[in-house]
């Protein structure tokens, strides 16, 4: 923790309290209120954490006004263009870009951990065929703690590292098998001669009856989707992982908690919700009706894939994703796909509408990722699992960082209680 160079003053009931103010290496100053309750006997109120920093971190930084996303200081657009997912995983986990030898060793380690304990297949087979793959992922990842006992102790550094590698390595196998199970096809085992993204595509789309060749352009696009989703600061699912871990829970349980949180349509579920919305709109002539609904305060409908809590000018991931979408759709010859036509027209009409400009709402990464994934052949139900597998490294890096933090305490928010004060129990016959 840096030293406070200035203080903020809080005046309350005739008393003045001095609160330390820290200056981060980037981003706004942070007022330290940890001793506020002890000194002034008051809590602060910030549901949704819109003004609250929940931890110190050195991993990822977002400047929402500039539209900047940095991993360990490196801009996401440079990483998406010049690096690849496993190198970004190394960077997030260990803090620096690897040397060639370090990268080779890391890639080998991840590749060698991609198989699942054979008995885990019984878990998959226990689900209904129509189970959402996210439901399967929450269950199977949580169940990893019942299979990999030698890497569940968060107080043992070596065990932590093994758990990190296992999670990054096995998540594509888990996601692909959740998909295979849902369509009634045999599970496809990972292959060590393929890179991370190609291996995932093969496990999703190959069948034992035929050879399967991975298209390098699709594999590159897949890798880029993984890279663009690798980490994103203290978002809802990452904060969930940190909160779960603050009690000392094992890594697999913490990541399962993160997957559960990511599932919601306001977070990782937005790419599925966005594609479903494009399908529902159907044709560009219906767009004004949906824009009017999004603007109507009485209607809960929102334009899915639009808006972001932190980015208020543009989402730098969306810029790269849009470019990738153009490449992939051209390669696959589906530029005239009706959903894509609706997406393009919707983007143009919403961006030209003063409501969206005033509220700083513009397409986020999920607006384009769903379009690419659909063109690649993934059903909408697989969009969020792909996000979860990409984000696993971010969750794990933040989890590791938290466990090394000497200030770690169990996360335990306070509340503004608005309920009844103490009253006596009333017997049922007297109510
Ligand atoms: N469509 C229409 N109006 C919107 C939208 C939208 N997509 N998003 C926000 N607004 C409006 C709200 O109604 C609100 O209006 P008001 O000030 O008149 O009440 C204002 O913009 C601010 O919205 P909040 O919900 O307060 O903003 P918040 O920062 O809490 O929410 C969120 C961000 C959840 C992403 C929101 O924009 C949303 O629901 N978007 C659609 C879902 C989505 O795409 N999520 C993906 C996020 S990115 C990710 O997880 C990778």
The minimum-distance atom of ligand 1 relative to the CA of 309 is 29
From the list 110, 62, 81, 76, the residue with the least C-alpha distance to 313 is 62
The list of the chain residues with pLDDT below 50 reads none
Ligand 1: distance of its center to the CA of 352 in Å? 18
Encode pLDDT of 387-423 as tens digits.
Answer: 999 999 999 999 999 999 998 999 999 999 999 999 9
Task: From the candidates 195, 231, 315, 366, give the one annotated as an active-site residue.
Answer: 366
CB atoms within 10 A of CB 229: 26
From the list 401, 311, 407, 319, the residue with the least C-alpha distance to 361 is 311
| Nearest CA residue ID for atom 45, ligand 1 | 266
Report whether 190 contacts 203 (CB < 8 A).
yes
What DSSP designation does 180 have? H
Tokens, residue 2: 């840096």
For position 1, what pLDDT does the model report? 67
Ligand 1: distance of its center to the CA of 249 in Å? 32
For a pocket test of ligand 1, which of 262, 302, 307, 383 has the largest count of ligand atoms closer than 8 A to its C-beta? 307
The minimum-distance atom of ligand 1 relative to the CA of 267 is 50
From the list 246, 173, 233, 259, the residue with the least C-alpha distance to 394 is 233
Ligand 1: distance of its center to the CA of 306 in Å? 7
Ligand 1: distance of its center to the CA of 311 in Å? 11
For position 265, what pLDDT does the model report? 87
Report whether 316 contacts 373 (CB < 8 A).
no
| Nearest CA residue ID for atom 20, ligand 1 | 359
| Nearest CA residue ID for atom 31, ligand 1 | 309
> Residue 21: beta bridge partners?
6, 31
What is the rounded distance in angstroms from the CA atom of residue 183 to the CA atom of residue 169?
Answer: 23
Ligand 1: distance of its center to the CA of 305 in Å? 9
The minimum-distance atom of ligand 1 relative to the CA of 359 is 21
Report whether residue 84 contacts ligand 1, using a CB cutoff of 6 Å. Answer: no
Q: In sequence order, which residues have a C-beta less than 8 Å from that of residue 351 and are 6 or more positions away?
A: 357, 362
Report whether residue 360 contacts ligand 1, using a CB cutoff of 6 Å. Answer: no
Helix (H) or strand (E) holding 30: strand 30-31
Helix (H) or strand (E) holding 345: helix 338-351
From the list 97, 101, 99, the residue with the least C-alpha distance to 78 is 97
Report whether residue 292 contacts ligand 1, using a CB cutoff of 6 Å. Answer: no
Report whether residue 270 contacts ligand 1, using a CB cutoff of 6 Å. Answer: yes
Report whether residue 315 contacts ligand 1, using a CB cutoff of 6 Å. Answer: no
From the list 388, 427, 403, the residue with the least C-alpha distance to 161 is 403
Ligand 1: distance of its center to the CA of 308 in Å? 6
Task: From the candidates 165, 229, 232, 308, give the one annotated as an active-site residue.
Answer: 308
| Nearest CA residue ID for atom 30, ligand 1 | 309
366 catalytic per annotation: yes
Report whether residue 72 contacts ligand 1, using a CB cutoff of 6 Å. Answer: no
From the list 232, 113, 245, 205, the residue with the least C-alpha distance to 168 is 113
308 catalytic per annotation: yes
What is the rounded distance in angstroms from the CA atom of residue 167 to the CA atom of residue 170?
Answer: 5
Ligand 1: distance of its center to the CA of 217 in Å? 33
Report whether residue 308 contacts ligand 1, using a CB cutoff of 6 Å. Answer: yes
Report whether residue 396 contacts ligand 1, using a CB cutoff of 6 Å. Answer: no
Report whether 275 contacts 370 (CB < 8 A).
yes
**CB < 8 Å & 24+ apart, contacts of 180-188:** 180/204, 181/124, 181/125, 181/127, 181/129, 181/131, 181/136, 182/129, 182/130, 182/131, 182/133, 182/136, 182/381, 184/129, 187/121, 187/124
Encode pLDDT of 222-254 as tens digits.
Answer: 999 999 999 999 999 999 999 999 999 999 999
């Amino acid at each position: 923790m840096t030293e406070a160079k200035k203080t903020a003053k809080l005046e309350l009931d005739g008393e003045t309290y001095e609160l330390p103010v820290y200056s981060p290496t980037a981003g706004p100053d942070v007022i330290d209120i940890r001793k506020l309750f002890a000194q002034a006997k008051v809590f602060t109120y910030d549901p949704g954490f819109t003004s609250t920093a929940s931890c110190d971190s050195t991993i990822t930084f977002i400047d929402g006004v500039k539209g900047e996303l940095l991993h360990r200081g490196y801009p996401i657009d440079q990483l998406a263009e010049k690096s690849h997912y496993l190198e970004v995983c190394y960077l997030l986990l260990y803090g620096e870009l690897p040397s060639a030898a370090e990268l080779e060793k890391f890639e080998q380690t991840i590749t060698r951990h991609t198989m699942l304990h054979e008995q885990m297949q019984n878990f998959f087979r226990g689900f209904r065929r129509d189970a959402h793959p996210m439901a399967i992922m929450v269950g199977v990842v949580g169940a990893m703690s019942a299979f990999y006992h030698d890497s569940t102790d968060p107080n043992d550094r070596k065990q932590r590292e093994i758990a990190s590698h296992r999670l990054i390595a096995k998540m594509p196998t888990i996601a692909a098998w959740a998909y295979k199970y849902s369509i009634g096809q045999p599970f496809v085992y990972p292959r060590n001669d393929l890179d991370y993204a190609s291996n995932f595509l093969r496990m999703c789309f190959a069948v034992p009856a035929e050879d399967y060749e991975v298209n390098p352009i699709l594999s590159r696009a897949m890798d880029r989707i993984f890279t663009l989703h690798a980490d994103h600061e203290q978002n809802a699912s990452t904060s969930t992982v940190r909160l779960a871990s603050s009690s000392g829970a094992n890594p697999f349980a913490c990541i399962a908690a993160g997957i559960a949180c990511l599932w919601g349509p306001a977070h990782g579920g937005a790419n599925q919700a966005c594609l479903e919305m494009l399908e529902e709109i159907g044709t560009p002539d219906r767009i004004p009706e949906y824009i009017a609904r999004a603007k109507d305060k009485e209607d809960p409908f929102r334009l899915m894939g639009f808006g972001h809590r932190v980015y208020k000018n543009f989402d730098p991931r969306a810029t790269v994703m849009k470019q990738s979408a153009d490449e992939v759709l051209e390669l696959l010859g589906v530029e005239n796909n009706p959903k894509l036509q609706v997406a393009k027209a919707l983007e143009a009409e919403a961006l030209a509408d003063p409501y969206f400009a005033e509220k700083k709402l513009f397409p986020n990464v999920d607006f384009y990722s769903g379009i690419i994934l659909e063109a690649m052949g993934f059903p909408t139900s697989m969009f969020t699992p792909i996000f979860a597998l990409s984000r696993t490294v971010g969750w794990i890096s933040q989890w590791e960082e938290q466990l090394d933090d000497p200030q770690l305490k169990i996360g335990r928010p306070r509340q503004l209680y608005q309920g009844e004060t103490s009253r006596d129990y009333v017997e049922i016959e007297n109510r």
